[in-house]
A = this chain, B = another copy of it.
Amino acid sequence: MTNGAQALIATLADAGVEVCFGNPGTSEMHFVAALDSVPRMRGVLCLFEGVVTGAADGYARIAGKPAVTLLHLGPGLANGLANLHNARRAHTPIVNVVGEHAADHKQYDAPLDSDIDALTGWSHSWTRRGSSPELIGRDAADAVAAVQATPSRIATLVLPADVSWGDGGVPATPVEPVPAAAPDQSIIAEIAKVLRSGESSVLLIGGPAATERGLAATDRIAAATGARPLVETHPARLTRGAGVPAVDRLGYLAEQATRQLDGAEHVIVAGTRAPVSFFAYPDKPSDLVPAGATVHELAASDVDVVAALEALAAVVAADVEPRGAASSLPELPTGPLDVRNWVKVIGALLPEDAIISDESNTSGIFLGAATAGSPRHDVLSLTGGAIGQGLPVAVGAAVAAPDRPVIALQSDGSAAYTISALWTMARENLNITTVLINNRAYAILRMELERVGATEVGPKAGSLLDLARPDMDFAEIARGFGVPATVATTCAELAEQFRTALAEPGPHLIDARIPSLF
């Protein structure tokens, strides 16, 4: 006999979903037991649901296909929501399986009972409640198809315990996702006309357009027409480095972004939206599109945006080749670590084909310049602004690409959110080098406190932005979670430890002590 859980897992595996990141509870025990019945499904235990969902996000950004998460009832999903928020902004395909009380048990409002649908609603998830062992396979096949539509997205299957343990499960054949729509030639013609008009244009790309084919098309268009190319501020996955067309990112601070967009009469967006500021500030505009500029959308959200960029390039830049960035490494700096030099150590030593999970925040403001000519790499950035993404995403990326070096550039305050990700790195022996930029402050908030006009900062306010007293020793924390770790205070130490960590298999953490910028 096949139970519901077995049918569900077999269906997922048949549809190419091969990794389950999970943190189960009692109501998910049959799902856990069923994992052994499907050899193709790998189970990866995380010690907190925020790690589970972040890992699933990182996995799919690199693998290009979804993982499944296993979450325990409403509170388990709640713990995973912040990184699902980031995944939603990244348009990452993820299939969540959230355990639910058995149907007969719901009426009793047992202690762990809650309104799971309210949470799936918040996450903008495609949602279905499993109703029977017979149908749960079909539900799973539909979920996998749903997340792989264009744009890709999150789906959540709510799995009552009795559907999981009930006999009569039927694995379902995979469902083909709805294919992306073809580019609209009339829009392409119209935008081609704008680009040829001689008026000042910005071409702002994001989403799937930030990987190599999209960047190549963007570069050709820019070279042929003079349009200023830009990548959205926080792309889910940006391919860059030597040989890859280099496109600057739109700045995080409204002041930077405004400068980059200054004078544009047209803002053409592809795979992203018209630029807005991250936060509101008194007496400053939220809409960053220059006054009087026209916004043009190259592709509706269900269109293959890379194909649209290539079609546009074929019209305006038929004979233009993309230009890859030159190989150029920063010199290895010397002296005590600071915000300007630690990134050069990374840039100088970055291995070929690395994946960077970047949550370095303010400490990383010079990272892009320092790694522009380093070997080709992918950067996974903090798409939704919900901190605590970096270490979990690194876990998922390393599971997806065991042969690529994964480098987590992680700020201290954000690391504290999902620090137990280190344990999963150790358990799975993942090739992740974490450089923990330990500046002992919520530096970004010190900066923002002034920017929002709250200029009179007293000792209580200052204390809430201060991560010293006591200083966190992330090397000790990492060792406690089973990850070998070292402390670096100079460029030479960071360089030596970074080289060593990359040369050895398995995870390593470098607690890099730098002064806060703010």
Given A112-B386, A383-B111, verify A101-B461 contact (CB < 8 Å): no
| Interface check A311, CB cutoff 8 A | no
| Interface check A192, CB cutoff 8 A | no
- Tell me which residues from 448 to 503 in chain A have a Cβ below 8 Å from any Cβ of chain B: 448-449, 451-454, 456-461, 463-467, 469-482
Q: In the bound complex, do residue A445 and residue B25 qualify as a contact, i.e. CB atoms below 8 Å apart?
A: yes
Q: In the bound complex, do residue B22 and residue A464 qualify as a contact, i.e. CB atoms below 8 Å apart?
A: yes
Complexed CA–CA distance, A464 and B90 (Å): 28
Partner of A24, one of B75, B445, B478: B445
Chain B residues with Cβ below 8 Å from A122 are 74, 78, 114-115, 118-119, 122
Q: In the bound complex, do residue A386 and residue B75 qualify as a contact, i.e. CB atoms below 8 Å apart?
A: yes
* CB proximity of A5 to chain B, nearest CB, Å: 9
| Interface check A105, CB cutoff 8 A | yes
CB nearest neighbor in B for A469 = B427
**Proximity bits, A64-105, B CB within 8 Å = 1, else 0:** 000000000011101101100100010000000000011011
Given A29-B445, A445-B24, A477-B481, verify A420-B426 contact (CB < 8 Å): no
Partner of A78, one of B78, B234, B478: B78
Complexed CA–CA distance, A30 and B470 (Å): 25
Chain B residues with Cβ below 8 Å from A459 are 36
| Interface check A385, CB cutoff 8 A | yes
Q: In the bound complex, do residue B108 and residue A287 qualify as a contact, i.e. CB atoms below 8 Å apart?
A: yes
Q: In the bound complex, do residue B426 and residue A470 qualify as a contact, i.e. CB atoms below 8 Å apart?
A: yes
The segment from A45-53, A135-143, A240-248, A330-338 that touches chain B is: A45-53
Complexed CA–CA distance, A469 and B456 (Å): 50
Partner of A472, one of B41, B82, B161, B480: B480
Q: In the bound complex, do residue B384 and residue A278 qualify as a contact, i.e. CB atoms below 8 Å apart?
A: no
CB nearest neighbor in B for A85 = B75
Q: In the bound complex, do residue A470 and residue B461 qualify as a contact, i.e. CB atoms below 8 Å apart?
A: no
| Interface check A27, CB cutoff 8 A | yes
| Interface check A416, CB cutoff 8 A | yes
Chain B residues with Cβ below 8 Å from A126 are none
Partner of A454, one of B32, B82, B482: B32
A-side interface size class: 35 or more
Chain B residues with Cβ below 8 Å from A427 are 469-470
- Tell me which residues from 241 to 290 in chain A have a Cβ below 8 Å from any Cβ of chain B: 273, 276-280, 282, 286-287
**Proximity bits, A332-372, B CB within 8 Å = 1, else 0:** 00000000000000000000000000000000000000000
Q: In the bound complex, do residue B114 and residue A279 qualify as a contact, i.e. CB atoms below 8 Å apart?
A: no
| Interface check A515, CB cutoff 8 A | no
* CB proximity of A125 to chain B, nearest CB, Å: 12
Q: In the bound complex, do residue A482 and residue B470 qualify as a contact, i.e. CB atoms below 8 Å apart?
A: yes
Q: In the bound complex, do residue A30 and residue B454 qualify as a contact, i.e. CB atoms below 8 Å apart?
A: yes
Complexed CA–CA distance, A27 and B280 (Å): 8
Chain B residues with Cβ below 8 Å from A30 are 452, 454
CB nearest neighbor in B for A37 = B458
**Proximity bits, A8-48, B CB within 8 Å = 1, else 0:** 00000000000000101111011011011100010101011
Complexed CA–CA distance, A146 and B385 (Å): 32
Q: In the bound complex, do residue A47 and residue B454 qualify as a contact, i.e. CB atoms below 8 Å apart?
A: no
* CB proximity of A435 to chain B, nearest CB, Å: 17
Shortest 3 CB-CB distances between A and B: which pairs?
Answer: A36-B458, A470-B482, A477-B480
A-B CB contact pairs (8 Å), 18 listed: A22-B464, A29-B452, A41-B460, A47-B417, A75-B85, A75-B384, A75-B385, A108-B286, A109-B273, A110-B277, A110-B278, A110-B279, A111-B234, A118-B122, A119-B119, A472-B481, A475-B480, A476-B477
